[in-house]
Amino acid sequence: MTRLVVIFLLALLQVGQAHSQDTAVIREFDEGTAALVDGRFHDALRAFESVESTGWASDALFYNMGLAHYRLDHLGQAIRYLEKAKWLNEDDERVLHSLNVAQSRQTDRFSTLPDPVWKNIQQWLVDTVPVRVAFLIGILCWFGFVGGWTVKTLAHHDSEWLRRGRWIALVLGLALIVHALASSVWPAYPDRAVVLSDQLTLHEQASSDAAEVIQVHEGLVVEVRAASPDWSFVEIPNGTRGWVPTPTLGDI
């Protein structure tokens, strides 16, 4: 009985702490919003960054951070956080308008390559059957196939519906596992990042001494194909690829 009372009190304490933390986060967010409205953009950004550091994320937070960065002439960071807000709420007209305004100041104007048909199919598959779900169902199908084969072999029992069930489990399991593995290696939605430097050079290799591929500028959104703490392999909208220093990018 005493043990149950202690567990109950600890649970209440954790709930109280969580509520206190949420209250503090909301208060700091409100303070940042007030500073943003008053034109104290540095103060607003400090408050918003403190909120973000707690792990709290919302389209309102990222939208306000994007506005603060834009007012401070941090174009790359402004586009980065407005893209984050769009990712969470792609129908918010305020976010879309502010993002368009920020993007109009970009130096780079690259044509965007259309996605190939297989990419659209892969994205539809991932949206319909997420990778983890596909892998789990695929494994279960394989267990079903092995179970059906075991029944046939050990019990010497087989029928038309058991044969069909085994083959359906085999083919479906194989297709789902291939889908899960392929989407893990070649993500349907690659990681994206924003160029934060005024000017950035893409190199053929992960070295500043390697041959230059192309130069891009602050605010450009790129796809990250591979990354390490020092260098990232990126693709710009027209399909050109190259290596850039990882600290020059801001993840979306």
Q: Which residue has the higher pLDDT, 189 or 141?
A: 141
Q: How confident is the model at residue 152 (pLDDT cuts 50, 70, 90)?
A: confident
The two domains 2-103 and 191-251 share their CATH topology (first three levels equal): no
Decide if pLDDT at 13 tops 60: no
Query: Is 80 exceeded by the pLDDT of residue 39?
Result: yes
Q: Is the dihedral of CA 118, 213, 222, 226 positive or negative?
A: positive
Residue spans per domain, the chain = 2-103, 117-185, 191-251
Statement: 191-251 belongs to CATH 3.30.160.270: no
> What is the predicted pLDDT for the residue at 189?
82
Mean pLDDT of 50-73: 95
Portion of the chain with pLDDT greater than 70, in percent = 92
The pLDDT assigned to 6 comes to: 39
> Taking the domain 2-103, which CATH number applies?
1.25.40.10
pLDDT, the chain, mean: 88
CA angle 178, 180, 184 (to 5 degrees): 115
Q: Which residues contact 242 (CB under 8 A, 6 or more apart)?
A: 202, 203, 204, 213, 214, 233, 234
